[in-house]
Amino acid sequence: MEQQIGFIGGGQMAEALIRGIIASGLYQEKDILVAEPNDQRREHLEQTYSVKTYPSNVPIFENCRVVILAVKPQTMKALLEDCRERVQSQHIIISIAAGLPISFYTKMIGKSETKIIRVMPNTPALVLEGASALSRNTNVSDAELSIAEEIFLAVGEVVLLDEVHLDAVTGLSGSGPAYVFSFVEALIDAGVKSGLTRVISEKLALQTVSGSIKLLRESGEHPAALRGKVTSPGGTAITALHVLEKVGFHGIIMDIVESAVIRSKQLGEME
Ligand SMILES: NC(=O)c1ccc[n+]([C@@H]2O[C@H](COP(=O)([O-])OP(=O)(O)OC[C@H]3O[C@@H](n4cnc5c(N)ncnc54)[C@H](OP(=O)(O)O)[C@@H]3O)[C@@H](O)[C@H]2O)c1
């Protein structure tokens, strides 16, 4: 049981995690078990990653200490009702479902000693470039939290936080890819508006964004410092930044993140 890891739900996110933990050498294929009702998904996962798959979640709880719940939030209640009897005190239950608080799992499983780790990952985890925040309940030891941390490090960056901060994480990195995609889309349209073909504009916009991020990371400089370096006196960049500041760009970004944080809190309270 100790060295095996189980997934309940073999969808997009589970697949990304499976790919990451195999690539990082964290788990061997034979030690990865997946419960997934869809025959085609099971076949796909077995053929692509040589993992063991099952139509039922019973083998997962019988054989794995670490159990990752990777179903949609709306199916979580039914899943927990079905498997609550199988959850034992040695299991480390890790959920990646958006919005559901740790108290939801405690209540549904109905055992005060259950170890629960709640994770807020984001979509770039699908290409092993995710940003995940992890929170635990008091039953989870530091060593057990480290096990979860290693798993999510295999698909990107990880931060460890108290659960109270997970709404802020949802507003920033959880929903963040949507803001970035919108920005890139607008940049592409702007290139087209200025006469570039869509293909060329897309190529330039994507490379500009990914290259700027790489420069930020590798230089270690503050974004404001790098922005200062690309604005020559009376030049094009400072002229464009003037327009950006007149429409309150910083305020807009802070507002959109704040609105997502508020919405995340509302959704959590509805549970
Ligand atoms: N995708 C992302 O980028 C992302 C980002 C952050 C968080 N998340 C979270 O990650 C979780 C999974 O998302 P996803 O995108 O991977 O969803 P998904 O692709 O729909 O995968 C969920 C899988 O679980 C299966 N399933 C449903 N009920 C089950 C049960 N009782 N036992 C075992 N398997 C069951 C589903 O099968 P059927 O299709 O046959 O129902 C489906 O294959 C969600 O809670 C989501 O909030 C995802």
> Which residues have a Cβ under 8 Å from the Cβ of 126 and sit 6 or more positions away?
12, 13, 15, 16
Pocket test for ligand 1, best of 40, 46, 69, 71 (most atoms within 8 A of CB): 71
136 and 45 within one domain? yes
Q: Is residue 171 part of a domain?
A: no
Bridging pattern class, strands 115-120 and 92-95? parallel
69 and 190 within one domain? no
Q: Which of 58, 4, 9, 13 is nearest to 31 (CA)?
A: 4
Rounded to whole angstroms, the Cα distance separating 177 from 52 reads 32
Q: Is residue 10 part of a domain?
A: yes
Q: Which of 157, 167, 103, 102 is nearest to 128 (CA)?
A: 157
Q: Measuring from atom 31 of ligand 1, which residue has the nearest CA?
A: 79
pTM score, whole prediction: 0.91
Q: Measuring from atom 40 of ligand 1, which residue has the nearest CA?
A: 38
Give residue-wise pLDDT tens across range 213-242.
Answer: 999 999 999 999 999 999 999 999 999 999
When divided into structural domains, the chain yields a total of 2
Ligand 1 centroid to residue 96 C-alpha, Å: 9
Q: Which of 78, 137, 85 is nearest to 113 (CA)?
A: 137
203 and 73 within one domain? no
Give residue-wise pLDDT tens across range 234-271.
Answer: 999 999 999 999 999 999 999 999 999 999 888 877 66
231 and 117 within one domain? no
Pocket test for ligand 1, best of 19, 42, 72 (most atoms within 8 A of CB): 72
Give residue-wise pLDDT tens across range 59-82.
Answer: 999 999 999 999 998 899 999 999
Residue 124 CB less than 6 A away from ligand 1: no
90 and 12 within one domain? yes
Domain boundary among 166, 185, 216: 166
Residue-number span of the structural domain to which 138 is assigned? 5-166
> Which residues have a Cβ under 8 Å from the Cβ of 252 and sit 6 or more positions away?
none
